[in-house]
């Protein structure tokens, strides 16, 4: 049972130039997820990138490198395209897809997700894929047209009376090579959730995110 992780880190970034290797508390952003992977039960940590600079930094941090073609590294390219490219070039049984914009990810959540996979590690579970998420309480949301979104202003529900929802936090997804190649999706089949706290779910997309996470990391 070969378990590997892949961190997709292309060179182009609109919000923050060279975001994946920009410094967070003096350390390249991608270092946090590389270290989270290396400190989990994952046997190999890979970075898929189209950028030589990201490849160099990642290699120095102990990650294996797979250079990705430019035609699947554009703004319009999907993560699934890169995952399928990885699956066709690297040998593995189980894949942990980690996003480099999740610096607060702890190895214990990766291990919990692996433990839930298809009874391979713990026969109490039988999931084909899992992903990380946080639990969200109900809040009154409004549309851009200033209309209540899925609630009635004349019959405002109490928060405790509305079912809680899980929100994908984008930190990681786990699936098998077989399911990835068959479905061409990051998750498929019987899907489970690894719950993470909200504060560990923050993503770096803007400079404001970077400053905020720098204060709590």
The catalytic residues are 156
SS3 193: strand
CA 204 from chain center: how many Å?
12
Distance CA(175)–CA(84), nearest Å, equals 12
- Say how many C-beta atoms besides its own lie within 10 A of residue 180's C-beta: 24
Q: Are the C-beta atoms of residues 173 and 102 closer than 8 Å to each other?
A: no
- Say how many C-beta atoms besides its own lie within 10 A of residue 148's C-beta: 13
Q: Are the C-beta atoms of residues 183 and 116 closer than 8 Å to each other?
A: no
For CA atoms 106, 107, 111, 113, give the dihedral sign: positive
Q: What are the φ and ψ backbone dihedral angles of 76, each rounded to 5 degrees?
A: -90, -5
Q: Are the C-beta atoms of residues 213 and 104 closer than 8 Å to each other?
A: yes
What kind and span of H or E run contains 54? helix 52-60
Distance CA(62)–CA(210), nearest Å, equals 24
């Amino acid at each position: 049972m070969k378990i590997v992780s892949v961190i997709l880190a292309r060179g182009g970034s609109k919000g923050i130039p060279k975001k994946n290797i920009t410094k967070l508390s003096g350390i390249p952003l991608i270092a946090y997820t590389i270290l989270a992977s290396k400190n989990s039960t994952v046997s190999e940590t890979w970075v898929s990138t189209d950028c030589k600079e990201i490849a160099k930094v990642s290699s120095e941090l102990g990650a294996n490198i797979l250079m990705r073609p430019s035609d699947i590294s554009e703004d319009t390219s999907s993560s699934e395209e890169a995952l399928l490219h990885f699956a066709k070039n690297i040998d593995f049984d189980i894949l942990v897809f980690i996003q480099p914009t999740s610096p607060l990810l702890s190895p214990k959540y990766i291990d919990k997700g692996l433990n839930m996979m298809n009874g391979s590690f713990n026969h109490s579970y039988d999931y084909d894929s899992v992903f990380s998420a946080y639990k969200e309480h109900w809040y009154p949301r409004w549309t851009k047209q200033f209309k209540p979104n899925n609630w009635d202003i004349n019959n405002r529900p109490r928060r405790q009376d509305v079912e809680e929802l899980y929100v994908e936090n984008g930190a990681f997804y786990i699936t098998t090579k077989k399911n990835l190649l068959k479905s061409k999706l990051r998750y498929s089949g019987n899907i489970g959730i690894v719950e993470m706290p909200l504060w560990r779910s923050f993503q770096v997309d803007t400079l404001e995110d970077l400053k905020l996470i720098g204060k709590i990391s």
